[in-house]
Amino acid sequence: METRRVAVTGLGVVSPLGCALDRVWDRLCRGESGIRVIASFDVKDYPSRIAGQIQEFDVDAFIPKKEQRRMDPFCHYGMAAAQLAVADAGIEFSAVDPRRVGVLVSSGIGGLQILQEQTKILFSRGPSRLSPFTIPEMIINILSGMIAIKYNLRGPNFAVVSACATATHSIGEALRMIRHGDADVALAGGAEAPVCELGVGGFCAMRALSTRNDEPTRASRPFDKNRDGFVIAEGAGVLVLEEMEAARRRGARIYCELAGYGRTCDAFHITAPDELGAGAAEGMRLAVADAGLTAADIDYINAHGTSTELNDKCETLAIKAALGEADARRVAISSTKSMTGHLLGAAGAFESVVCALAIARGVIPPTINYETPDPECDLDYVPNTARPAKIRACLNNSLGFGGHNATLCFKAV
């Protein structure tokens, strides 16, 4: 049986750079940062006091007020991104068999804010005052369920949880679902809302976050020698994926093809990456091979690029191991986390949107705040200025706590 190809036909984001696709893309290409001092709670006692928080988002435009009260913010963001992606795709679900549409929109952490809020209520006012929606609001799979309810989508529906690789795994599994005939259309991506006392405090306790509090827009500096940790962020990204021939028949605008997927595990440490980047390298090799390509075909990599000492060094090693020294030095690499911060379980979805737009619009967004080269990070990171480029194929890397690695390969059509 011939393998079915998968088209990317719709993109939706809710992000620290905004929610309107063209505006977000314009800000990325201009190298603007969406990172600010946290305004949603008092941060004076926190070592890290900065985040990529949502901008220009009107939840009322997407979700009725009554329903809003029954959702954690991660669902607000995910529901909105799904609606934006569906509108962008111009797809009418009334014309599609609902049993042939899948949803895999996941989260690395899920309803953290509702967990924090209800825990406070439990210990201050007792169990009788807990909301009956506490559990439904917290669980990670509820977002995929809510999207399905909104659009009456009855195909495969579940959530993948793999920390910072969550959305990338979700998109990859949706690719396989369509390829193997389990669905014809899928909404895939991720959403995260970790910017609260518990989320920021937990990552501060790990000493994982940047403490460049006086310069928030310069704090996230992937691959720069003076990087000091990642910047926590919130948001969502959703892609509409369709079987290629069906998309063409309905006259869909096709951004690119989702052509390859690789996933591996480091089996090394609960938070630190494999020191040689072997697991990430194998994930990249698998994605390239799955797409029927070679290293010479890859023109761009949207790196995981978190701005932590270990990640950036190990990912550099992984790219060299995956592509070979010559192609690793030829390929353009950028980390858009330099502008958005790290969206955790939603990062791979936002960055997949970036990959699709980079192919469609012929521009590679930069890695901003790249000022001092690191001898251990010695590749082309597209420093500070966007670059016009004809991209035949690109990779999107996501590397999660637990050693979970996922890479997607997108190519031009």
Edge-to-edge strand order for the sheet containing 332-334?
101-106, 185-192, 235-243, 6-14, 256-265, 404-411, 393-400, 300-302, 332-334
Segment (H or E) for 106: strand 101-106
Q: Are 314 and 275 in contact (CB under 8 A)?
A: yes
Segment (H or E) for 135: helix 134-138
**Dihedral pair phi/psi, residue 191, rounded to 5°:** -145, 150
b or e along 302-339 (b: 16 or more beta carbons within 10 Å of the residue's beta carbon)? bbbbbbbeebbbbbbbbbbbbbeeebbeebbbbbbbbb
Tokens of residue 232, six digits = 């926590």
The catalytic residues are 164, 304, 342
**Dihedral pair phi/psi, residue 375, rounded to 5°:** -55, -25
Q: Are 163 and 203 in contact (CB under 8 A)?
A: no
Tokens 């014809």, residue located: 184
Q: Are 302 and 272 in contact (CB under 8 A)?
A: no
| CA angle 143–148–149, rounded 5-degree value | 95
Q: Are 96 and 252 in contact (CB under 8 A)?
A: no
Q: How many CA atoms lie within 13 A of 309 on its CB side?
A: 4
Task: Of 343, 152, 127, 396, give the one whose Cα is nearest residue 237.
Answer: 343
Q: Determine the Cα–Cα distance for residues 266 and 260; give it in Å rounded to an integer.
A: 20
